[in-house]
């Protein structure tokens, strides 16, 4: 048991830190974050390009594909440092963390040559078309159809909760290619050009009023057969690969994001008063702050422990379900606590730029997105503890 | 001991429910949310015509002189449709005027407030103050007049108000000053907030002149009237939360019966069932608490004050928990702007604060039980 | 809506109060409550006799059977006043509240004549043999068998969690009389003399160390056919009647019991100090006390609301599941809060006579006994909300 | 960064586990519970022979000079069998002596404590005091000697102790006084408590004479040693709670796989499954917290103190919640005296208090974060 970073890990972190110190752009003004504006998009693309030019795109990819072959721990250091430096969000994240690794794993050589370079350079932005309105947690019950017609598939259907779809160039799409087979066995994975005729995108507004997700409609969209990723009707296996990658390294950046928010709360609590008493001196607030610190630290430690295992075994394990539960429930409790501590004025959009309202509402989705808490608990019960299936 | 509503109470409930269904559809709520004021003049005047503004106030001032149970019935039904507009503000202002014992000003203003012609609100909170806190906004004397200077926050529906009752400080005394929105030096700024169906404003008072005849009350009688009006406000908000919970429960149960996952209705999964059961428990127990508080206050029961703090605490906490379960049981769809859950969810959150949050009221309860001061 | 007691209800309460003021005996010393001692038992029996002599036994029974025909509200006033007066526990409670009403409902005339008088007078103490070790929440899966042999049934099997079995005279027993039928349709209800040959009782110790429950073993016990209550193989209907009665009026006494305990906590909190500060002045303790007051009041109000309905409809409704959940979860949270507030010394058996330890441990069973919380939530979901069955 | 135990640590874990399985069956635990002392002389001396008392203490005093991670490993395994006896008390006393910087007394007492021959404990708490509180038991000077008078409460395993380190007050200073159980004026009374596997005592000191050479430390060095010993105690208790949780989780999972209700294993009901999943989460996250605290303290990381308060808070709260789920998943049988759950459940509760409860440690964490004093 040695929880210090290794020398190599320290060097990786230090060189990244100094690069970031020089290259992170001015933050985009917080009250002007219209997710759909072209200026904002260009700002994000420019950052992706900068990362690429600096050699910091796709750090976890094997060097033969232009990456750095970073270990899981290094990858997580990367994400944590990026978050800590206040760098813009990564517009290439779907490509870098999901699509690229999947193409590397199951794509053919042509697909690798054609798609991988653009992902790293930021020229080609990806989105991921898995979720459907009627599928929900039961992803494999998807009904978007692809029917073979000559050298093309013809795709019809609808995807939802698709990040970046409004401006993405390509989409990693799951479609049903065999309606007779059991639901996991008739799914194929396609790489779809978002500029194809018949693709349309409309923003999906969240309860917070923000968009950030989209609905994507496919109406007789032609997809050339060579854009099939992996084998026909074996797309569920590809999806599993993607879903396994989805959260593996995410923890460290989620942690940093929450930590910055907790620090902001602590700063406010030290500054603000109620009825003349400093919020920081109120024993109830102190208990709530301490509980938030405790839970966040528990998340950090659980994440580190999981990373340390991943670093040895290279296979994301069932710890992910624990991390998902810890993170999502912490996010909600933390937002609730923050609102309780800050009191009435926290309702106003002009209080701390609306951060706490946004956090409160946005976190409501955290126990649903990416596998509901109920699904996570089922996974732990059945796969980790070996209990009989409940349904 | 009979918990059932009386016949006339049931009739009232029925008529409010029918009215709300007809006049305040979710589409209408969305339209009003998108405005700066969430105010529908016509709807408001129809509500007034029914006598539902300040229904507990004396007939002498055009009130119906009903009990607070009837106020709770109206508030619950309004909650069920997430009624936009100044119902809570108007009730608060009207109650405060009625409780102040100032017959002259009551005669002058109350009837037109109750009849919906004059829009009134109360300005209490300030930056760094609480619902118990003593306001810092100060009054200075200027001959026979007073001058008000300072800033009030989180004032309900002030953007459409004609009349603002300002809770101010004159030395050690609380004063309730009646200010017109059009008075010189009054600046009202809408401050958008989490609940777009009920608008909050910031009001700055820059040496606003208040003639002494516009002083509603001072000193002990001001404190007493304010306290009573806050209590009745808390009852109304608690009952509104019950209505919100009932709508949310109904919507959730209906959804989970039909929505399928893994080839079964999600309502057949125990994890979903148990959340729905919890929602039912929270709704029913909150209803018991809100109506008991209304009844006990009307009857001046010795535990009236405690029952109000208990109702506000329990209904606030319950509505928040219930809302969270509701979104969870809905899954992604419940998290979208398109689903009506969103405005009920946000109104619940705003109501959690209004007239004192659970922490505040628990401290009141503890003080009553422990008699430490 | 009128939450005042009616004049009749007030008179009932007042006359009971004045009777109790004169007749409640000195409390049995708290540290000498050995549930199995004969002295204690005699003390309890004497109290039951006193109630009977005063005309306060079986208040809810119809007057033709010796009761007072009390309404549900009056019955609940009765239980509340008894509790508030610090009267001994009712040793006849199973007979009075479960067995008697069931015999009245489904018994034949001979059974009524034979059994009802002894229940009220306290001469005949009853226990209830429903639960079995392997049945748990699934009461109907019971396996204790009764086989017809001439004019007798011969009973073999085991019951558990049986209150008062150690000293009871009779037992209301559920047995399986048809092993081929679906499980709800092969059950019969018998009235069994506990002095019969082949009945043996051993105490069941709870985690708190107290007994108070028993296991009852039946080995070739002969039960005359005339002691069959209700029809053959229709015993499940009888059981339902009993189970519905079980909690109907219980709420008010459970409430008073908890309120007395809360008052005791408040008294301690006003008296005790930690590091020189009065416990009552600690804002955290104040919040916890207030929360306990709130939850208990919610229980009282919910119980009253349910009683008010029962008073009109005379049928216990689904509110019982809510009350069971509120009571059991409150009991646990309250005990936990009390221990947090009182601090380290509360661990000691000599702190407040071990009340808080007992309450903490005993309340752990409250979400299990009489239908687990899971079962209660199923009932609400399925019977009240109409959701599809989960299993 | 490597969270795995090292090879030697795994070997230690394995050997403690094997030892505990062989020497400390549930039946043995029950036998010891029923005694006044829960002390098994032979078992204790075997534990000492293995070097498991104060394994982190210097070799000069017969310790193994291992890190606190090894202490945590031993404590976790002891937790798994709910080991009765004075392990926590002896570690606390030994650590306190080692940290006091009093080489003379350390040489005199430590080796025999570590070797299991001398039984030592620490007397800190008093009526109305807290783990932060300053003891009221006072020292008066009497020539070259001291006199101790007062009462200590909740002293771990004092009934079998030879040596009691008393935390007392001399004016503004804390003093650590070493008193023999046989000293005149010392009266030790066992006080049965919720956890029968670890016994607590009340000790009254009636003008007990303590020669000055028996003063272990005073003033700042006493405070510092006490603080450090409390921290290491909190680590050991947190790790012990992890072991308790692991046993409880394992027992519950095994039970729900086989127990049937409504013709299915109860482990196939989502309501049970989800409770088991939560128990797993609590166990694993607690383990991460306890071992991090042990490692950070050994390495003198800047967040060591915070990590200990976090571990104690989280493990205490988790073990309580987990125990409640465990009984619930077991149903009635889990609530009986016959089931082994009961003594793990009660030990968890006692451990919740030991070395400071979650409320206490949260206040420590807040103080570190908010730097208010």
Report ipTM (2 d.p.). 0.96
Q: Where in chain B is the domain with CATH 1.10.540.10?
A: 7-114
| Domain span holding position C186 | 127-234
The secondary structure of residue D372, as a DSSP letter, is: -
What is the CB neighbour count within 10 angstroms for residue A184? Answer: 16
Q: What is the pTM of this model?
A: 0.96
Residue D43: predicted pLDDT:
97
Give the end of a domain, one of A33, A68, A91: A91
Answer whether A171's CB lies under 8 Å from A165's CB: yes
Nearest CA in chain B to A344: B353
DSSP-based three-state secondary structure for A3: coil
* CATH code, domain with A288: 1.20.140.10
Q: Tell whether C371 and C279 lie within a shared domain.
A: yes
**Mean pLDDT per segment of 10 residues, for chain C of length 391 residues?**
92 96 88 70 89 92 92 90 89 89 94 94 92 88 96 97 91 96 94 97 92 92 97 90 72 91 97 95 98 98 91 74 95 98 97 95 95 94 92 63
Q: Are residues C262 and C370 in the same domain?
A: yes
Q: How would you write chain C as a 3-class SS string?
A: CECCCCHHHHHHHHHHHHHHHHHCCCCCCHHHCCCCCHHHHHHHHHHHHHHHHCCCCCCCCCHHHCCCCCCHHHHHHHHHHHHHCCCCCCCCHHHHHHHHHHHHHHCCHHHHHHHHHHHHHCCCCEEEECCCCCCCCCHHHCCCEEEEECCEEEEEEEECCCCCCCCCCEEEEEEECCCCCCHHHCEEEEEEECCCCCEEEEEECECCCCCCEEEEEEEEEEEEHHHEECCCCEHHHHHHHHHHHHHHCHHHHHHHHHHHHHHHHHHHHHHCEECCEEHHHCHHHHHHHHHHHHHHHHHHHHHHHHHHHHHHHCCCCCHHHHHHHHHHHHHHHHHHHHHHHHCHHHHECCCHHHHHHHHHHHHCCCCCCCCCHHHHHHHHHHHHCCCCCCC
Cβ–Cβ < 8 Å for D356, D205: no
For the domain spanning D120-218, the CATH number is 2.40.110.10
B322-356: per-residue pLDDT in tens?
999 999 999 999 999 999 999 999 999 999 999 99
Residues A284 and A367 in one domain: yes
Domain total for chain C?
A: 3
The residue with tokens 């004549």 is: C113
Pairwise CB contact (< 8 Å): A301 & D285: yes
In a domain, A99, yes or no: no
Q: Quick check: A286 pLDDT over 90?
A: yes
Residue that finishes a domain, picked among C234, C267, C288: C234
Domain(s) labelled CATH 1.20.140.10 in chain D stretch across 221-371
Interatomic CA distance for residues B79 and B169, integer angstroms: 34
Residues A263 and A356 in one domain: yes
D346: phi then psi, degrees, rounded to nearest 5: -75, -35
In sign, the C-alpha dihedral spanning A189, A195, A199, A205 is positive
User: Digits of tens for pLDDT over chain B (373 positions)?
Assistant: 889 999 999 999 999 999 999 999 999 999 999 999 999 999 999 999 999 999 999 999 999 999 999 999 999 999 999 999 999 999 999 999 999 999 999 999 999 999 999 999 999 999 999 998 788 898 999 888 999 999 999 999 999 999 999 999 999 999 999 999 999 999 999 999 999 999 999 999 999 999 999 999 999 999 999 999 999 999 999 999 999 999 999 999 999 999 998 889 999 999 999 999 999 999 999 999 999 999 999 999 999 999 999 999 999 999 999 999 999 999 999 999 999 999 999 999 999 999 999 999 999 999 999 986 5
Give the bridge partners for A221, in sequence order: A155
Contact between C143 and C119 under an 8 Å Cβ cutoff? The reply is: no
Q: What pLDDT, on a 0 to 100 scale, did the predictor assign at position B354?
A: 98
Domain co-membership, A51 together with A153: no
* Contact assessment for residue D26 and residue A332, using Cβ atoms and an 8 Å cutoff: no
A385–chain D Cβ distance below 8 A for any pair: yes
- Does C376 fall in a domain? yes
Residue of B nearest to D275 (CA): B271
**CB of C85 closer than 8 Å to CB of C20:** yes
Q: A13 in contact with D at a CB cutoff of 8 Å? A: no
**CA dihedral defined by D103, D108, D111, D114, rounded to 10 degrees?**
-90
Q: How far is C321 from chain B, CA to nearest CA, in Å? A: 9
pLDDT band at D317 (very low <50, low <70, confident <90, very high): very high
Which active-site residues of A does the annotation give? 246
Task: Assess contact for D308 and D231: CB atoms under 8 A.
Answer: yes
Residue A360: list chain B partners with CB under 8 A: 194, 349
- The answer to whether residue B270 neighbours chain D at the CB level (below 8 Å) is yes
Query: Which candidate in D369, D372, D373 is best for mutational testing of the A interface (most A CBs within 10 A)?
Result: D369
Residue A122 lies in a domain: no
Whether residue C161 sits in one domain with residue C269: no
Q: Are B363 and B49 in contact (CB under 8 A)?
A: no
Question: By the CB < 8 Å criterion, does A340 face chain D?
Answer: no
Judged by CB atoms closer than 8 Å, whether chains meet at A275 and B191 is answered as no
Q: Check whether residue C268 and residue C170 sit in a common domain.
A: no
Looking at the complex, does the CB of residue C266 fall below 8 Å from at least one CB of chain B? Answer: yes
Domain termination residue (choose one: C45, C64, C91): C91
pLDDT of amino acid B373: 53
Same domain, A278 and A334: yes
Same-domain status, C226 and C256:
no
Q: Which of C246, C329, C340, C369 is catalytic?
A: C246
Class of domain D7-114: mainly alpha
Kindly give, in sequence order, each residue whose CB lies less than 8 Å from that of residue C313, ignoring residues fewer than 6 positions away. none
* Averaged pLDDT, D290-303: 97
- pLDDT, residue B218, reads 95
Question: What pLDDT shows up at residue A243?
Answer: 76
Q: Does the CB of C282 have a partner CB in chain A at under 8 Å?
A: yes
Chain C positions touching B364 (Cβ under 8 A) are 290
pLDDT at C35: 62
Specify the length of chain A in residues.
Answer: 391
DSSP string, A275-318: TTEEGGG-HHHHHHHHHHHHHHHHHHHHHHHHHHHHHHH-S--T
Of A128, A77, A69, A125, residue with least CA distance to A102: A128
Chains near D (3 or more Cβ pairs under 8 Å): A, B, C
Give the CATH number for residue C134: 2.40.110.10
Model pLDDT, residue D168: 96
Task: Specify if C351 maps to a domain.
Answer: yes
Domain B221-371 has CATH 1.20.80.10: no
pLDDT > 80? residue A247: no
State yes or no: pLDDT of D371 exceeds 90. Answer: no
Closest CA to A221 of A289, A170, A270: A170
Max Cα separation, chain B?
79
Q: Is the dihedral of CA D356, D360, D365, D368 positive or negative?
A: negative
User: What CATH number has the domain bearing residue C79?
Assistant: 1.10.540.10
- Do residue A203 and residue A282 come from a single domain? no
CA–CA gap between residue D342 and residue C364 (Å, rounded): 11
Residue of D193, D261, D271 lying closest to C349 (CB–CB): D193
- State how far residue D291 is from chain C, nearest Cα, in angstroms: 25
**Residue D132 clears pLDDT 90, i.e. is over it:** no
pLDDT in tens, D67-95: 999 999 999 999 999 999 999 999 999 99
pLDDT at site C36: 66
Q: Which of B257, B268, B292 sits opposite C3 (nearest CB)?
A: B292
Stretch 92-151 of chain C: residues touching chain D, C-beta under 8 Å: 131, 133-134, 136-138, 141
Residue-wise pLDDT for D145-177, tens only, equals 999 999 999 999 999 999 999 999 999 999 999
Residue A345 lies in a domain: yes
CA-based nearest residue to B358, from B333, B328, B321: B321
The angle, 0 to 180 degrees and rounded to 10, between the axes of the packed helices A109-121 and A38-53 is 110
CA C231-C236-C242 angle, to 5 degrees, is: 100
Residue of B281, B283, B290, B358 best to disrupt the C interface, most CBs of C under 10 A = B281
C-alpha to C-alpha distance for B106 and B95, rounded to whole angstroms: 10
A271 touches chain D (CB under 8 A): no
Confidence of residue D290 (pLDDT cuts 50, 70, 90): very high
Q: Which of left, alpha, beta for B121 (phi over 0: left; psi -120 to 50: alpha)?
A: beta
């Amino acid at each position: 048991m040695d929880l210090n970073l290794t020398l190599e890990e320290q060097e990786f972190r230090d060189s990244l830190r100094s690069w970031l110190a020089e290259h992170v752009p001015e933050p985009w003004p917080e009250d002007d974050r219209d997710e759909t504006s072209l200026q904002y998009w260009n700002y994000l693309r420019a950052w992706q390009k900068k990362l690429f030019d600096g050699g910091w795109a796709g750090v976890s990819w094997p060097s033969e594909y232009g990456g750095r072959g970073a270990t899981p721990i290094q990858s997580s250091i990367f994400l944590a440092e990026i978050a800590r430096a206040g760098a813009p969000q990564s517009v290439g994240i779907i490509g870098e963390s999901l699509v690229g690794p999947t193409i590397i794993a199951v794509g053919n050589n042509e697909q690798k040559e054609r798609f991988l370079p653009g992902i790293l350079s930021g020229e080609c932005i990806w989105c991921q078309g898995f979720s459907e309105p009627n599928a929900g947690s039961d992803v494999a019950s998807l009904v978007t159809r692809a029917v073979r017609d000559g050298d093309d598939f013809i795709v019809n259907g609808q995807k939802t909760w698709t990040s970046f779809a409004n401006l993405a160039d390509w989409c990693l799409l799951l479609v049903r290619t065999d309606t007779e087979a059991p639901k996991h066995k008739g799914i194929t994975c396609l790489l779809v050009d978002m500029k194809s005729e018949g693709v349309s995108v409309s923003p999906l507004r969240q309860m917070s009023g923000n968009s950030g997700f989209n609905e994507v409609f496919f109406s007789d969209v032609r997809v050339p057969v060579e854009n099939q990723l992996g084998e026909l009707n074996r797309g569920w296996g590809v999806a599993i690969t993607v879903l396994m990658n989805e959260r593996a390294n995410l923890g460290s950046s989620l942690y940093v994001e929450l930590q910055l928010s907790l620090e902001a709360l602590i700063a406010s609590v030290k500054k603000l008063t109620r009825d003349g008493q400093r919020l920081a001196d109120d024993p109830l607030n102190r208990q709530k702050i301490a509980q938030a610190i405790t839970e966040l630290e528990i998340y950090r430690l659980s994440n580190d422990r999981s990373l340390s295992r991943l670093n040895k075994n290279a296979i994301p394990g069932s710890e992910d379900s624990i991390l998902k539960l810890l993170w999502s429930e912490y996010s909600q409790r933390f937002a609730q606590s923050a609102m309780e501590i800050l009191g009435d004025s926290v309702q106003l959009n002009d209080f701390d730029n609306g951060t706490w309202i946004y956090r409160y509402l946005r976190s409501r989705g955290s126990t649903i997105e990416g596998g509901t808490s109920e699904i996570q608990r089922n996974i732990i019960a059945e796969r980790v503890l070996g209990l009989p299936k409940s349904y | 001991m009979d918990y059932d509503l009386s016949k006339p109470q049931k009739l009232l409930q029925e008529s409010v429910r029918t009215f709300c269904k007809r006049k305040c559809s979710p589409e209408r709520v969305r339209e009003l949310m998108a405005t700066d004021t969430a105010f529908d003049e016509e709807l408001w005047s129809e509500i007034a015509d029914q006598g539902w503004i300040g229904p507990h106030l004396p007939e002498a001032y055009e009130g119906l002189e009903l009990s607070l149970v009837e106020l709770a019935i109206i508030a619950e039904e309004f909650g069920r449709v997430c009624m936009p507009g100044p119902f809570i503000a108007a009730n608060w202002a009207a109650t405060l005027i009625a409780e102040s014992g100032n017959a002259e000003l009551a005669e002058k203003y109350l009837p037109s407030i109750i009849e919906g012609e004059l829009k009134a609100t109360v300005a209490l909170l300030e930056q760094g103050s609480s619902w118990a806190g003593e306001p810092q906004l100060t009054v200075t004397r200027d001959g026979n007049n007073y001058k008000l200077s300072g800033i009030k926050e989180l004032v309900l529906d002030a953007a459409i108000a004609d009349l603002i009752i300002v809770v101010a400080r004159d030395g050690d005394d609380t004063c309730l000053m009646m200010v017109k929105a059009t008075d010189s030096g009054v600046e009202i700024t809408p401050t958008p907030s989490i609940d777009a169906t009920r608008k909050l404003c910031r009001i700055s008072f820059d040496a606003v002149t208040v003639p002494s005849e516009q002083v509603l009350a001072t000193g002990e009688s001001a404190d007493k009237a304010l306290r009573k009006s806050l209590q009745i406000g808390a009852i109304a908000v608690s009952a509104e939360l019950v209505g919100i919970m009932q709508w949310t429960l109904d919507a959730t149960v209906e959804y989970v019966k039909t929505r399928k996952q893994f080839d079964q209705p999600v309502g057949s999964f125990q994890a979903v069932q148990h959340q729905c059961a919890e929602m039912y428990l929270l709704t029913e127990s909150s209803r018991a608490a809100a109506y008991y508080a209304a009844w006990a206050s009307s009857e001046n029961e010795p535990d009236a004050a405690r029952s109000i703090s208990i109702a506000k605490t329990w209904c606030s906490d319950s509505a928040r928990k219930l809302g969270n379960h509701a979104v969870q049981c809905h899954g992604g769809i419940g998290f979208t702007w398109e689903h009506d859950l969103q405005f009920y969810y946000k109104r619940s959150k705003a109501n959690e604060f209004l007239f004192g949050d659970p922490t505040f009221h628990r401290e009141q309860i503890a003080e009553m039980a422990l008699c430490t001061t």
